[in-house]
Amino acid sequence: MYWILFLMGGAVSLVVAVLVGGAMTPRAHAVARTVVLRARPESVWTLVRTVGSYADWRPEIQSTLVDGEEWQEFTTGRALRLGVVESEAPRRFIARVLDDDLPFTREWTWQLVPEGEGTRVTLIERGETSNPLYRFVGAHMKGHHGAIDSALNALAVRVGDAAARIEDAGPANGRA
């Protein structure tokens, strides 16, 4: 009988610890990662800006549905509605989540800069998470850079540069 109370107490303590940890984690985050690809900025731009083809090279996206400057990305168990904030070919593309019923907001900035014969691609994620549980998991278990690294890795593979190394791009404070 005591072991049941012990297990229940441990479970409650874990939940409380995660919620307190999440409440103490900042709501807002900004993360920037970068990779140098052996591909011209124009070809990288075409991949990044053609959101309707994301399912062709980003494995986490099963399909997309494009409607002008807005689109939906369908993944396993979820659909996100996104929209273009800024598009400056072939330099910068900014998109954000348009759904307002989620426990988070996200905005992604793709920056493309010629570097030698290739392109330096920097992907910046800015977001806020209201739910302390999601905040704890996102900051301390998954890490905010996971989705960024996944997208940059997929882009590198798509342009034939799978060995490209993703690195921290430093502070992502301003609009850059």
pLDDT in tens, 73-116: 999 889 999 999 999 999 999 999 999 999 889 999 999 999 99
Q: Which of 123, 176, 131 is nearest to 150 (CA)?
A: 123
The CATH number fitting domain 2-168, selected from 3.30.70.260, 1.20.120.1770, 3.30.70.100, 3.30.530.20: 3.30.530.20
The full set of domain ranges for the chain reads 2-168
DSSP 137: I
CA distance 35 to 149: 9
Q: What mean pLDDT comes out for the span 4-24?
A: 66
* Residue 7 pLDDT class (50, 70, 90 cuts): confident
Question: Could you tell me the CA-to-CA distances from 99 to 53, 105, 110, 144 in Å, in that order?
Answer: 21, 8, 20, 19
What does pTM read for this prediction? 0.85
Is the pLDDT at 2 greater than 80? The verdict is no
Q: Which two tokens stand for residue 70?
A: 């807005």
**Cα–Cα distance for residue pair 155/144, rounded to 1 Å:** 18
DSSP state for residue 52 in the 8-state scheme: G
What is the percent of the chain where pLDDT is above 90?
A: 64
Q: What distance in Å separates the CA atoms of residue 142 and residue 134, rounded to the nearest whole number?
A: 10
